[in-house]
Amino acid sequence: MLALRTSSASSRLPAAPSSNGWKASRCLASRRCVAEGPAHVAQLQVADLFATPVAMASLPDAAAFNARIKPVILNRRRMHPTQSRSAMNGWQSDTEMALWAGDALQPLLLAVVELCNTRTVDVAEQDRPRFRWVPQAWANVHEQGGANQFHTHPGAVWSLVYYVDDGYAGSSDRALGGEFVILDPRMPAIRMAAPDLRCRQADNSIGETEILMRPATGRLLMFPSWLSHGVRPYLGTGTRISIAVNVLALPA
């Protein structure tokens, strides 16, 4: 019989014979094993495979860009009703921002294309590129209570969000909410058998199913378009302004 230590002796159940001759026992994840190291294995190596790339960057002259694009977005909101797709209690423009924002948007679109080129490779490319990037951009404006439900972006390769104004006015108060949330793409399968159990990562940190990222003015976030994401309700009293971009790969 294999004797498995648990964090509490009272949590053990009597062992019972199984059909293959081994005796089954109830065992709980032990925090002590992590601190002391495993006693019955040697040369343990753990690799976190198939990581999901999420990149953060900023614009070289974000302040100037924000000052120029912000009135363009707010004027568009005054003149046009929302085209809400994932937004709740917020305003979204159409996806033709590249047309109505004109030159004011170009620094961001250039940065987006540069990031896509940096973080993507065509493994079957021969003499010349087979694809070209086509960005589709739209603006988002959230005031108190604004949020975005979980969603993905079918048809695109990369998706990005840039924060013109995070709405926090320099406050670090977490009660203001409005975090950008990324959902583990393996959900809900990895929680079906035992919802409270988590895998330990290679660095012994605990694997989570949701990652929260607090927006910051001037920050650009990039992730695969198939990755489910949303925004928790923004509870501040300011106005949050962001620009979302989907990047399509079309034949060159």
What residues pair up with 163 in beta bridges, in sequence order? Answer: 242
CA-CA distance, 225 to 248, in Å (whole number)?
10
Q: Is residue 191 part of a domain?
A: yes
User: Is the pLDDT assigned to residue 3 strictly greater than 80?
Assistant: no
| pLDDT for 42 | 85
48 assigned to some structural domain: no
Does residue 231 form part of some domain? yes
Helix residue spans in the chain (DSSP H): 31-36, 62-79, 97-100, 106-119
pLDDT digits (tens, 9 = 90+) for 44-60: 888 988 889 999 999 99
Is residue 1 in some structural domain? no
Asked if the model's pLDDT at residue 205 lies above 80, the reply is: yes
31 falls within a domain: no
- Domain membership of residue 137 (yes or no) is yes
Question: What pLDDT does 23 receive?
Answer: 47
Give the range of the structural domain holding residue 113, as residue numbers without chain letter: 55-121+128-251
Got the DSSP string for 26-81?
Answer: -----HHHHHH--SS--S------SPPP-EEEE-TTHHHHHHHHHHHHHHHHHHS-
Each residue's pLDDT tens digit, 145-186: 999 999 999 999 999 999 999 999 999 999 999 999 999 999
Q: Residue 30 falls within a domain, yes or no?
A: no
Within 8 A by CB and 6+ apart from 247, the residues are 112, 113, 116, 133, 134, 135, 136, 156, 157, 158, 159, 160, 225
Lowest mean pLDDT among 29-38, 42-51, 68-77: 29-38
pLDDT at 4: 34
Residue 236's CATH number: 2.60.120.620
- pLDDT of res. 43: 84
Total number of domains in the chain: 1
Q: Does some domain include residue 185?
A: yes
